[in-house]
Chain A
Amino acid sequence: MKVDVSNPLWRFRGITSTAMFFFAYLYLPIVILLALSFNENKLATIWTGFTTDWYVTALSNDDMLRAAKNSIIVAVSATILATIAATFAAMGMARGRFRGEVGVSAMLVLPLLVPEIVTAIATLLFFVALGIKLGLITVIIAHTVFCIPFAYLPIRARLEGMDPALAEAANDLYANEWQAFRRVTMPLLWPGILSGAMLSFIISLDDFVISYFVGGAGATTLPIYIFGMIRIGITPEVNAVSAMMLIVSIVFVSVSFLIDRIRY
């Protein structure tokens, strides 16, 4: 590791070991989970040998596959809706100053701070009050709402770094508002949009609390299915499913991070 000697943190004794401990604390459980998903023994916590059978079992479990399909339907729909909404919101906010701008911008990201259980109960009450039948649709609506701030932030950051004269230059060169958006703003914004979309997708895929409350019968998503499996006991199959979700998450987050670094 390259050490930046000018960073005053390096003068503290034990900074390296503290950091090591911290990372171990964060990642050791995940490493153990990954390892145990290859454990031959049916009792998940006793190691007896290597096998990939649990992945085969998991992937041939119809209930599990149905839950995964639900999760993907919800995540894709919520991502598309949230990203479109977030793009318009970010462009609107970048348009210029107006009264209550600070308030609106706070409201856009507030869902990040509201305890999820509160949002879940509130959303459930809302659907029940309106007499909307719980199911995949309600999950999609609820997910769209909490995905918006995750999609909004990277798009807004992109727009902030963009010279407002670029859109004006497009208008100046005979492009109407729509052509200017399509030919100039959009191509410059797409890394932000894509990055926001991938974050939304992962956030939706991982969500448990809200899905649990507003899902109802027939809308079991993967996290809810895993929760159900655990109630019977932690099996290597649970570990295998979790490991697969982990891989998908890591891929999406990394790609989102890399896309966000694209600069012209």
Chain B
Amino acid sequence: MSEVVISARSVSKIFGSGADKVTALDAVSVDIFQNEFFTMLGPSGCGKTTLLRLIGGFEEASSGKILLEGNELNDLPPYKRPINTVFQSYALFPHLTVRQNITFGLEMQGIDRAKANHRADEMLELVRLAQYGDRVPSQLSGGQQQRIALARALAPAPKVLLLDEPLSALDLKLRKEMQVELKRLQTETGITFVFVTHDQEEALAMSDRIAVMQFGKIQQIGAPREIYDEPTDRFVADFIGDSNFLPGNLVAAANGKHALTLANQHVIELPSVRSGQKTGDVTISIRPERLGLVAENLADQTHLMGSVKSVIYFGTDTTYEIDLGNDQTVKVRTQNGTGAMDDFGRGERVGVHVPADAIRVLVD
């Protein structure tokens, strides 16, 4: 892996005191690498903005350290950090033209006007708004303001760019466009992006790595595929995409493998589990699209038997809810148009195919 740019060392942030004390961040540690698109994902109030503001210098940590390329940042004010921010409200200066907005940071750094203007033109080119330099922000659409905010923050070529839900004010179509645009800008500039969102699809689509946060803690850090395919706990499995949760019983077998018993005595052999995995009663998660359905007469002991409780057609795919008895249901998503699967009707008995490699035993 490449070099670490930002690292947080057990950073905590406590707002207020006494009865209305809020622990916004609870001993968070994370390393963010050079040239990385790093996303912090989590539900509202989990501390994403707080962590971002600590990195930017707008808030002071209650304890812990934040390092930039190994140097402690804690006492540096925002204007001495080579880190720029794209604010959620864009915060474009309304009394300045687009070009003046972009050159602001450069002038504050003491770069002469001609050079700064040249750089502004480059930036306008980069965000594809070359003709808009002389307008004022109020003459731009939301999407255009967004691009200018990006251009302004990128102009001083910061070591790290912080983005706090920059796309949340845009409508769906524009948001999709800007996702592509942001990814392109990150690749082209090679600047480390630290991106905050509570939209899991957005996070999966854009990030090199994702940190999933809850209650001021980072629950899991990993590449999108890792987070999606190998969630370590129930919160992550539930927050990212759809998951089935089933109780099971895990027993270590002599050959180093494990045997997982699901509620109706159905035994599956797991080739590997996480090291240090406790045995006994566990919760497992399975993605609905990893499950398959077969008609009852084709099912054997490798299938979980159940009956179809509901069928929801989504166009590209269909979601079946299967009643396994004992108050347990699983969702099964099948791709339409592949011809591999027959249609099943409500009440029909079916066998659910559970591939061993789709099973994640969760840490409780």
How long is the Cα–Cα vector from A174 to B91 in the complex, in angstroms?
Answer: 15
Which residue of the partner chain, among B79, B95, B105, contacts A264 with CB atoms under 8 Å? B95
Chain A residues 159-215 with CB under 8 Å of chain B are 163, 165-166, 168-176, 179-180, 183-184, 187-188
Q: Judge whether A169 and B85 touch: CB under 8 Å.
A: yes
Q: For window 13-72 of chain B, which residues contact chain A by CB distance below 8 Å? A: 56-58
Do B93 and A184 touch (CB < 8 A)?
A: yes
**Residues of chain A with a CB closer than 8 A to B89's CB:** 163, 165
CB-CB < 8 A to A187: which residues of B?
A: 95
Within 8 A of B (CB), among A47-95: none
- Alpha-carbon gap, A172 to B92, bound state (A): 12
Q: Does B337 contact A (CB under 8 A)?
A: no
Q: Shortest beta-carbon distance, B249 to chain A, in Å?
A: 53
CB-CB under 8 A from B109, the residues of chain A are 174
**Do A166 and B91 contact each other (CB < 8 Å), given the known contacts A171-B78, A172-B78, A174-B79?**
yes
Known A165-B87, A165-B89, A176-B77; judge A170-B104 contact (CB<8 A): yes
- Given A168-B58, A168-B87 in contact, is the A173-B95 Cβ separation under 8 Å? no
In this assembly, does B277 line the interface, its C-beta being within 8 Å of a C-beta of chain A? no
Q: Which residue of A lies closest to B102 (CB)?
A: A173
Find out whether the CB atom of B78 lies under 8 angstroms from the CB atom of A188: no
B138: Cβ under 8 A from any A Cβ: yes
Which residue on chain A has the smallest CB distance to residue B155?
A173
| Chain B residue nearest to A162 in the complex (CB) | B94
CB closest residue in chain A, given B104: A173
Given A165-B87, A179-B108, A183-B104, does the pair A172, B95 have CB atoms closer than 8 Å? Answer: no
Q: Point out the residues of chain A lying under 8 angstroms from B214, CB to CB.
A: none
| B279 CB, min distance to chain A CBs, angstroms | 51
Interface string of B84-113 (1 = CB under 8 A from A): 110111011111000000001100110000
Residue in contact with A175 in the complex, picked from B58, B79, B152, B153, CB distance below 8 Å: B79
Residues of A within 8 A of B94 (CB): 188, 264
Q: Residue among A163, A168, A174, A183 with the most chain B CB within 10 A?
A: A174
Taking the closest CB of chain B, its distance from the CB of A158, in whole angstroms, is: 12
**Known contacts A173-B108, A183-B104: A168-B91 contact under CB 8 Å:** yes
- Enumerate B98-147 residues with CB–CB distance to A below 8 Å: 104-105, 108-109, 136, 138
Minimal beta-carbon separation of B223 from chain A (angstroms): 29
Closest to B83 in A: A172
Q: Which of B83, B85, B88, B109 has the most CB of A within 10 A?
A: B85
A interface, size bucket: 10 to 19
Alpha-carbon distance between A183 and B80 when the two chains are bound, in angstroms? 17
A244 to B85, CA, bound (A): 54
A83 to chain B, nearest CB (A): 20
In the bound assembly, the distance between CA atoms of A116 and B319 in angstroms comes to 76
Q: A173 with B87: in contact, given A188-B94, A264-B95 (CB under 8 Å)?
A: no
B183, chain A: closest CB distance, angstroms: 23
Contact B79–A171 (Cβ < 8 Å): yes
Query: B156, A174: Cβ atoms under 8 Å?
Result: yes
Name the distance in Å between B95's Cβ and chain A's nearest Cβ: 5
B153 contact set on A, CB distance < 8 A:
172-173
List chain B residues, Cβ under 8 A from A172. Answer: 56, 58, 78-79, 83-85, 105, 153
The residues of B that contact A183 with a CB separation of less than 8 Å are 104
A85 CB to nearest B CB, Å: 25
Contacts of A184 in B (CB 8 A): 93
- Residue of A171, A172, A174, A179 with highest tally of chain B CB at under 10 A: A172
Q: Compute how far the CA of A4 lies from the CA of B154 in the bound complex, rounded to whole angstroms.
A: 50
Q: What is the CA–CA distance of A179 and B138 in the complex, to the nearest angstrom?
A: 23
Instruction: List the B residue with the shortest CB-CB distance to A264.
Output: B94
Known A168-B78, A183-B104; contact A173-B156, beta-carbon cutoff 8 A:
yes
Partner of A174, one of B87, B105, B138: B105
User: Across the interface, which residues of B come within 8 angstroms of A180, CB to CB?
Assistant: 79
> How far is B89's CA from A176's CA once the two chains are assembled, in angstroms?
21
CB of B104 within 8 A of CB of A175, answer yes
Residues of B within 8 A of A264 (CB): 94-95, 136, 138
B59 to chain A, nearest CB (A): 10
Looking at the assembled complex, report how far the CB atom of A194 sits from the nearest CB atom of chain B, in whole angstroms. Answer: 14
A241 to B22, CA, bound (A): 63
What is the chain B residue whose CB lies nearest that of A175? B108
**CB proximity of B273 to chain A, nearest CB, Å:** 46
Min distance, Cβ A66 to any Cβ of chain B, angstroms: 43
Which residues on the B side are within 8 Å of A171 (C-beta)?
57-58, 77-79
Cα distance, A188 to B91, chains bound together (Å): 13
**A to B CB contacts below 8 Å, 29 in the list:** A163-B89, A163-B91, A165-B87, A165-B89, A166-B91, A166-B93, A168-B58, A168-B78, A168-B91, A169-B85, A169-B87, A169-B91, A170-B104, A171-B57, A171-B78, A171-B79, A172-B78, A172-B105, A172-B153, A173-B79, A173-B104, A173-B156, A174-B79, A174-B105, A174-B108, A175-B79, A176-B79, A179-B108, A264-B138
Interface residues of A (CB under 8 A from B): 163, 165-166, 168-176, 179-180, 183-184, 187-188, 264
Give the A-binding residues of B (Cβ under 8 A): 56-58, 77-80, 83-85, 87-89, 91-95, 104-105, 108-109, 136, 138, 152-153, 156
Question: 9 closest A-B pairs (Cβ-Cβ)?
Answer: A173-B105, A264-B94, A174-B108, A165-B91, A169-B91, A171-B78, A165-B87, A175-B108, A172-B85
Query: Contacts A172-B153, A184-B93, A264-B136 given; 12 further ones with Cβ under 8 A?
Result: A165-B87, A165-B89, A171-B57, A172-B56, A172-B78, A172-B79, A172-B105, A173-B84, A173-B108, A174-B108, A175-B104, A176-B79
